[in-house]
Amino acid sequence: MIKPIYVLNGPNLNRLGVREPEIYGRTTLSEIETMCREAAGGQPIEFRQSNREYELIEWIHEAIDRAGGIIINPAAFTFTSIALLDALKMFPGPIIELHISNIHRREAIYHESLVSPVATAVIAGLGAQGYPLAVRAIQHLTS
């Protein structure tokens, strides 16, 4: 049975394409979802966004039982959430930490990811295009 890929998005990413296009581009989250589904071919994608840490943790727990891989853009929780780190540690498959912008070219508060130590790989700075690449990478890692 083909397992779904979970694509989880953290706080404020529901505003993509609307504000700060010079940093985050003009692609909306809904367009990114379409890009992920196209990249996945027939493989199911669970594409979700929440502004609540609690909800993201619940979805990681769900993914532990169901998913072949996780792609997560934790947004600001990247730098604050040991709870997300602890939840991701329990996932047995590949995890890709994804950022639209190159966090290392930005202010110092964006440099220290708490999530990277448990990520299989990190994609940052490729804009919305990073998402379909991450989907293909998860497929490659699980094939």
Residues lying near ligand CA2 in the complex (CB under 6 A): 12-13, 15-16, 19-20, 24, 73, 75-76, 78, 99-101, 103, 110
Q: To the nearest whole angstrom, how small is the minimum distance from the Cβ of residue 103 to ligand CA2?
A: 5
Q: Residue 19 burial by CB count (10 A; 0-12/13-18/19+): exposed, middle or buried?
A: exposed
Q: Of the listed 6, 61, 99, 140, which one is catalytic?
A: 99
Q: Of the listed 6, 24, 111, 131, which one is catalytic?
A: 24
Bridge partners (DSSP) of residue 45 are 5
Cβ proximity to ligand CA2: between 73 and 81 the closer is 73
Q: To the nearest whole angstrom, how small is the minimum distance from the Cβ of residue 10 to ligand CA2?
A: 7
Cβ proximity to ligand CA2: between 50 and 143 the closer is 50
Instruction: Report helix, strand or coil for 98.
Output: strand
Active site residue 99: yes
Q: Residue 121 burial by CB count (10 A; 0-12/13-18/19+): exposed, middle or buried?
A: middle
CA 73 to chain centre: 3
Q: To the nearest whole angstrom, how small is the minimum distance from the Cβ of residue 71 to ligand CA2?
A: 12
Structure tokens at 34: 């379409």
Pair type for strands 69-73 and 45-49: unpaired
Q: To the nearest whole angstrom, how small is the minimum distance from the Cβ of residue 39 to ligand CA2?
A: 18
Active site residue 111: no
Cβ proximity to ligand CA2: between 50 and 73 the closer is 73
Report the C-alpha gap between 94 and 121 in whole angstroms: 8
76 backbone dihedrals φ, ψ, rounded to 5°:
-65, -25
Cβ proximity to ligand CA2: between 3 and 106 the closer is 106
Which residues carry out catalysis? 24, 99
